Amino acid sequence: MANYCIKSDTMTQRGAHEFCLQNEGLNANSVSCQTIFYQNLLEYLQLASVKLLIKQIANPMNFALLILGPPYSTQASASALRFARAALNGGHSIYRLFFYHDGVHNASAMVTTPQDESSLPQQWSELIEQHQLDSVVCIAAATRRGVLNEQEAKRFGKTGGNLSPGHEVSGLGQLVDASLNADRVMTFG
C-alpha cells in the first residue's frame, strides 16, 4: 500500500486523476475525469481501484514563488523548481509562479540543451501543465530580455514569439497580488 498526501480542499479530480495515473500506472481511459472535489474523491479512487491511504495534511498552504535567477547560469531556478515539486508533493499548492529579473529566461522556448542535460524551461512548463499552475512572467523584465509572446512579438515587429507553454506575460500587479494573497512568499535569487 502506498501512502500519499492529498490536499483536501483544492485538489480537483483532475489533479488526483493525473496523480494516480503517474503513481499507479493506470490506464487513462479507465476512469472518467470531471471536476469534482474531495467528497467524491474517495469514491473516485475506489472506482479506480487505487489503493491509497488518504491523509489530509494538517496545514496546507499556498506558496508564491518569485524566481529571479536564469536557467543554467546559477542554481536559483533549479532550487525553486525542486522546492515547487516538494511543496506540491507535500500536499501544498502554488498560488503563483512569478518570473522576474533574469528569471524570465526560464520562460524562453528558445532554450536548447544537449540531449544528456535537462532543460529547466521545459521542466517548468511540464510542472505548470501537470499541476495547472498559474505562472506569470513579468512583461517589462521579459521584453527587455527578449522573451515575448506572439502578441508582443507582433506588436514590436519581431519575427516570432518565444514564450514557453504554460506561462502568461503580465505586469508586476500579479506579484503584488501574490504577495498579498499567498500564505508564503519565497524568493529564489
Partner 1 sequence: MLLHTVNKSAFNSGTLGDCLRVVAENDAVLLFENGVYGALDNSHGKFSHREHIQKLSASGTRFYILQADCEARGLDASALLPIFTMINDADFVTLAVEASAIQSWY
Partner 2 sequence: MDKPAIEKPEDRAILLVFRHAPYGNALAREGLEAALACGAMGATTNVLYINEGVWQLVEPQDSHAIDCKNQAAMASALPLYGVEAIWIDEDSLKQRNLTSTDINAGKIIDRTQVQALLATSQAILSF
Binding footprint of partner 2 on the chain (CB under 8 A): 64, 66, 68, 100-102, 140-141, 170-177, 179-182, 185, 187, 189
Q: Pick from 154, 161, 79: which is nearest to 123 by CA? A: 79
CA distance 179 to 181: 6
Q: For 77-124, give the DSSP string.
A: HHHHHHHHHHHHHTT-EEEEEEE-GGGGGGGBTT----TTS--HHHHH
- Binders of partner 1 among residues 129 to 148 (CB under 8 A) are none
- Is residue 124 within 8 Å of residue 104, measured between CB atoms? no
Judged by CB under 8 A, the stretch of 20-28, 59-67, 110-118, 164-172 that binds partner 1 is 59-67
Candidate list 18, 54, 72, 79; residue touching partner 1; CB under 8 A: 79
Candidate list 21, 26, 61, 109; residue touching partner 1; CB under 8 A: 61
- Does position 62 interact with partner 1 (CB under 8 A)? The reply is no
Closer Cβ to partner 2, 6 or 148, answer by number = 148
Which value, to the nearest 10 degrees, does the dihedral of the CA atoms of residues 36, 42, 47, 51 take?
130
Half-sphere exposure of 124 (CA within 13 A, CB side): 34
Shortest separation between residue 128's beta carbon and partner 2, angstroms: 19
Partner from partner 2, partner 1, none binding residue 158, C-beta < 5-8 Å depending on class: none
Q: Where in the sequence numbering do the catalytic residues fall?
A: 138
- Does position 87 interact with partner 1 (CB under 8 A)? The reply is yes
Judged by CB under 8 A, the stretch of 55-63, 121-129, 135-143, 148-156 that binds partner 1 is 55-63
Amino acid at the residue 110: M
Segment 25-28 long-range contacts (CB within 8 Å, at least 24 positions apart): 26/50
In the complex, which residues of this chain contact partner 1 (CB under 8 A)? 59, 61, 63, 75-76, 79, 82-83, 85-87, 89-90, 92, 184-189
